[in-house]
Amino acid sequence: MKIFLVSFVLVMLTACTSQAVYDMMHERERQECLKQGRSDCQRGESYDKYKQKRDEVMQYEDINK
């Protein structure tokens, strides 16, 4: 039971950290764009959309091995 709980916590931390890092990178890029005075600064795509696309590519690569 303890191993399951520790594993679950580690997986959740990793998932949350990945999304936080992803969001932080895109926000930093947007802030740099705004500092340059550009008017075409956009928010990056959502982490969920990115993850969906990444999973599709990974699944496609697994099929074609």
Number of compact structural domains in the chain: 1
Q: Which residue has the higher pLDDT, 61 or 1?
A: 61
Query: Per residue in 1-50, pLDDT tens?
Result: 677 666 666 666 666 678 888 888 889 999 999 999 998 888 888 888 98
Angle between helices 47-63 and 2-35 (to 10 degrees): 120
Q: Which domain holds residue 35?
A: 2-63
Calpha distance 14→22 (Å, rounded):
12
Q: What is the pLDDT of residue 13?
A: 62
pTM for this prediction: 0.57
